[in-house]
A = this chain, B = another copy of it.
Amino acid sequence: MTSMPSPAVAYVRVRAHTLALIEGLTAEDCQIQSMPDASPVKWHLAHTTWFFETFVLAAAWPEYLPVDPAYRALFNSYYVGIGARAPRAERGLMSRPTLAEVLAYRTEIDARISAGFRARCLNATQVATLELGCHHEQQHQELILTDLKHHLSRNPLYPAYRAQPELTASGDAALEWIGFEAGVRDIGHGRTTRFSFDNETPRHRVFAEAFELASRLVSNADYQRFIDDGGYQRPELWLSDGWDAVQAGGWQAPLYWFDDGSHYTLAGRIAQVADAPVCHVSYYEAEAYARWAAARLPTEAEWEIAASGSTPLRQMQDCCWQWTASAYLPYPGFQPAAGAVGEYNGKFMINQMVLRGGSCATPAGHLRPTYRNFFPPSARWQFSGIRLARSRR
């Protein structure tokens, strides 16, 4: 990333990548919301566009004429500072505007942004918000894939989205333990010229005891041993809420696994690869697996220290997100951005656990070692896996 693209170029690239993701999808594929936590692809296409219109264009220009005034509420996700919102669980109920209309909305906003650059009328705040909007859209690029995967997995026909497989095998490398000394360390993002989300800031000091991190992720074969050892039948391995989730959900394996050794992927229902990282596990499963393996999950500080260290670890960003033992809470001194855009991260800092790393579904250029992803401990539809840690003996 030595030669950082200009904001105008970055915008065009990000927007084009989103369109590339939906190539081959029908209007119906883009319409469906398979559970309240997921959103329709069409909604992602519209909402990311809405973000630019609302926070870059409308916020700065008092006389701005919206593409369609109804969209302001229709595609508002959760910004109460912006006003009314369509209920989250009903995003799949809107057949209108159609996919074609949403794509036209994208084209129109792209033209306006582009004209803004050409006219050189975008101020520094607008450009900064536009950069945020690009990273925002990249997050939705990943969600498009995870939400689509969930929706297609509920179809008894198990249709494939793409031909290429999701995760590459690890080559079954032996799991090694990489050690780190105790001490006061800096973590978090320093908010230099490079972009970060507000939840990564401020950079601050933490004390970490000596620890070790696994050189690779837990594999399907590893996890199968946990299952074979009665992992899903032994309450003593689980957190109390985790065991309740196992019972209530009838969990017997990670999400998308079938009894016959196959699993559902974006390439359809195919055989599992034994030495690929296990994926689509909840925090509860990750935590229970770690206990069974006489290890534990890393804290997010430990993960970041390791990711910033000199010893390279495998599968840090390209396979699946890694559940940490850290609750998603504000860093000391955290200040959300002013205005409605300040709702981006801060108001979700409860009842969620931090995931670190990145996944096969994360777009290139989106990640940093300080990146904080977060989901409730029961969530399984993200590309979430397990990296073990242990305290230094």
The interface of chain A, by Cβ under 8 A from chain B, is 26-32, 34, 42, 70, 73-74, 78, 80-81, 86, 90, 92-99, 151-152, 154-157, 159, 184, 204-207, 209, 235-236, 238-243, 283-284, 287, 325-327, 329-330, 332-333, 343, 347-351, 377, 391
Contacts and interface: CB of A to CB of B under 8 A. Distances in A.
B28 A240 contact: no
Nearest to A237: B347
A70 B156 CA distance: 8
A238 B347 contact: yes
Nearest to A287: B350
A80 B242 CA distance: 14
A243 B154 CA distance: 24
Contact of A96 (B78, B159, B243, B326): B159
A348 B239 contact: yes
Given A151-B95, A156-B73, A206 B207 contact: yes
Task: Report the copy number of this chain in the oligomer.
Answer: 4
B81 A236 contact: yes
A316 B329 CA distance: 24
Contacts of A97: 157
Nearest to A205: B207
A74 B159 CA distance: 14
Contact of A27 (B28, B78, B330): B28
Given A31-B32, A151-B95, A327-B329, A86 B347 contact: no
14 contacts: A27-B28, A28-B95, A28-B99, A74-B157, A93-B154, A94-B154, A95-B159, A96-B157, A184-B184, A239-B349, A239-B350, A240-B347, A241-B348, A241-B351
Contacts of A90: 154
A44 to B, nearest CB: 15
B350 A93 contact: no
Residue from the set A155, A283, A287 with the largest chain B CB neighbour count within 10 Å: A155
B332 A350 contact: no
Contacts of A206: 207
Nearest to A158: B96
Nearest to A296: B330
Contacts of A239: 347-350
B155 A94 contact: yes
A205 B209 CA distance: 8
Given A92-B32, A184-B184, A209-B333, A156 B240 contact: no
Nearest to A42: B28
A357 to B, nearest CB: 20
Given A73-B156, A94-B154, A332-B391, 8 more contacts: A32-B95, A34-B93, A86-B156, A96-B152, A209-B332, A209-B333, A240-B350, A325-B329
A151 B159 CA distance: 26
Given A207-B207, A350-B242, A95 B31 contact: yes
A240 B32 contact: no
A79 B63 CA distance: 59
